[in-house]
């Protein structure tokens, strides 16, 4: 069974490696050109109306982009921007419902899941819950730069403070006293409320400032629910607290510089993870630091390396600081307008005052029109599965693999309804087998509403 699951995920990762027809850039609403330097000035295309904010790609941009709308933070395709200020490959699908209001360009999308989850064994459970997110964005040209505001909300607090059963998941708490183990905590109602301003410095360079309450600091790959390689799965990764748990940070300011295909940025943020009160807005000192270097060498590849020092990140251990490292590679390739393949390989390290723990995740998904296949394999070193009071104890090397599929049906021009399922198996060492009933497995069936 273990070999079959990992083989299936490997097939996903390499199924699309054969030569493909020329790629197509994502479709975005037209926008007027920002004036180029005099030596490069060109008349605007006749088919581009003048009532949308944003600016076109500069002359000489990557082939296939043409006058595609640029991102909020720099002169690159809008499809490069993911969660917070993180980058993904330019060839990523960037959906959304677009509109305009005066000088503002508006965009929104939603992805909501109704899930039934069943985890086997003595530490398992069954539960129905809702998950997902809705997002809205507004952007306009302001002075010499681009101003954007963004809000993201989640229905997950409705599932209750204890979240949903998930073997080998750990981190955070349900009641401020007891750690959550073998359960995934719900995200807060307010996942992001942010604003950014970018200033063009040349044909291929820009500087930006981003602030959020909450927001996402400059650490790690895009948050898992935004990665094309696994965003169709309703199951959170067990590596979440190594790679991207800072994506909801109640207080963050990030400054960055973009030069062509390279971005360097640094954040000051509130390092404490959200508490068990999921409906409020929390505040705290910006006492933690993160630095990230990102590089998109081609339209299909996005690389990042990052470091963060967090002051008192754990609610149950407020006096203990931590350091985190992350490195990741995302490869995404398009095969026509509705077929694609995306794979992420990510590594993370958490270091405390007395120990350090590594984790690795490999994710891959293939979109085949109405069908999407997805899979994930993970490894983590975890000392929170068994211990006094359910917290720190012996360190165990554990793993997990999952494989799933979803079938989408378009029910309106911007609305899709999907039906999907996944199966997962967890790998635990011999000392844990009695607690978990061997190598436990789990499954989810779900219905998804997607508006984009």
Joined tokens for residue 223: 């948050």
- Give the H or E element holding residue 433: helix 430-436
The whole-number pLDDT of residue 317 equals 83
Res. 388: pLDDT tops 70: no
Which of 2.30.29.30, 3.30.565.10, 3.50.50.60, 2.40.160.10 is the CATH number of 2-451? 2.40.160.10
Q: Write down the pLDDT at residue 171.
A: 84
Produce one character per residue of 240-270: b if its CB has 16 or more CB atoms within 10 Å, e if not. bbbbbbbbbbbbbbbbbebeebebebebbbb
User: CB count, 10 Å around CB of 53?
Assistant: 23
Per residue in 166-224, pLDDT tens? 999 998 888 888 889 999 999 999 999 999 999 999 989 999 999 999 999 999 999 99
- Assigned token pair, 85: 């200020």
Please state the domain extents for the chain. 2-451
> Looking at the predicted structure, is the pLDDT value of residue 60 above 70?
no
Q: What is the CA radius of gyration of the chain?
A: 22
Cα four-point dihedral sign 188, 189, 191, 194: negative
* Residue-averaged pLDDT of the chain: 86
Quickly list DSSP for 26-55: PP----PPPPPPGGG--PPPTT--S-S-S-
Instruction: Please indicate whether residue 233 or residue 55 has the higher confidence score (pLDDT).
Output: 233
Closest CA to 44 of 66, 64, 63, 25: 66
Mean pLDDT lowest among 208-222, 264-278, 308-322, 368-382: 308-322
Three-state secondary-structure class, residue 265: strand
pTM of the model: 0.86
What pLDDT is stored for residue 68 in this prediction?
65
């Amino acid at each position: 069974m273990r070999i079959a699951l990992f083989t299936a995920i490997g097939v996903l990762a390499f199924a699309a490696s054969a030569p493909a027809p020329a790629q197509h850039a994502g479709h975005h609403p037209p926008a007027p050109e920002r004036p180029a330097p005099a030596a490069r000035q060109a008349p605007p295309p006749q088919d581009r109306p003048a009532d949308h904010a944003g600016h076109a790609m500069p002359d000489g941009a990557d082939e296939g982009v043409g006058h595609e709308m640029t991102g909020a933070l720099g002169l690159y395709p809008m499809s490069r921007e993911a969660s917070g200020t993180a980058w993904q490959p330019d060839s990523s699908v960037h959906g959304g419902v677009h509109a305009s209001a005066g000088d503002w360009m508006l965009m929104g999308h939603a992805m909501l899941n109704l899930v039934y989850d069943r985890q086997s064994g003595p530490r398992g459970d069954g539960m129905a819950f809702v998950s997902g997110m809705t997002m809205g964005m507004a952007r306009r040209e302001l002075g010499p730069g681009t101003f954007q505001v963004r809000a993201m909300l989640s229905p997950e607090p409705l599932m209750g403070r204890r979240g949903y059963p998930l073997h080998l998941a750990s981190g955070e708490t349900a009641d401020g006293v007891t750690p959550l183990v073998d359960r995934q905590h719900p995200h807060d109602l307010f996942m992001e409320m942010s604003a950014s301003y970018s200033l063009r410095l040349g044909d291929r360079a820009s500087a930006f400032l981003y602030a959020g309450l909450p927001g996402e600091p400059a650490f790690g790959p895009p948050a898992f629910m935004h990665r094309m390689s696994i965003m169709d799965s309703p199951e959170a990764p067990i590596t979440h607290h190594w790679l991207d748990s800072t994506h909801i940070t109640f207080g963050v300011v990030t400054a960055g510089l973009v030069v062509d295909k390279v971005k360097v940025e640094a954040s000051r943020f509130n390092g404490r993870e959200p508490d068990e009160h999921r409906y409020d807005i929390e505040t705290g000192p910006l006492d933690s630091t993160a630095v990230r270097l990102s590089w998109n060498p081609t339209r299909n590849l996005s690389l990042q390396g990052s470091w963060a020092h967090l002051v008192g990140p754990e609610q149950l251990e407020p006096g203990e600081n931590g350091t985190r490292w992350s490195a990741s590679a995302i490869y995404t390739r398009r095969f026509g307008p509705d077929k694609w393949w995306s794979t992420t390989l990510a590594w993370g390290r958490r270091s405390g005052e007395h120990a350090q723990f590594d984790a690795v995740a490999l994710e891959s998904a293939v979109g085949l029109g109405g069908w999407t296949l997805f899979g994930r394999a993970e490894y983590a070193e975890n000392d929170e599965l068994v211990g006094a009071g359910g917290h720190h104890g012996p360190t165990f090397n554990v793993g997990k693999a999952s494989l799933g599929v979803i079938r989408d049906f378009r029910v309106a021009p911007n609305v899709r309804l999907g039906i999907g399922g996944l199966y997962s198996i967890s790998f635990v060492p011999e000392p844990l087998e009695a607690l978990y009933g061997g190598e436990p497995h789990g499954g989810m069936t779900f219905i998804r509403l997607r508006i984009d």
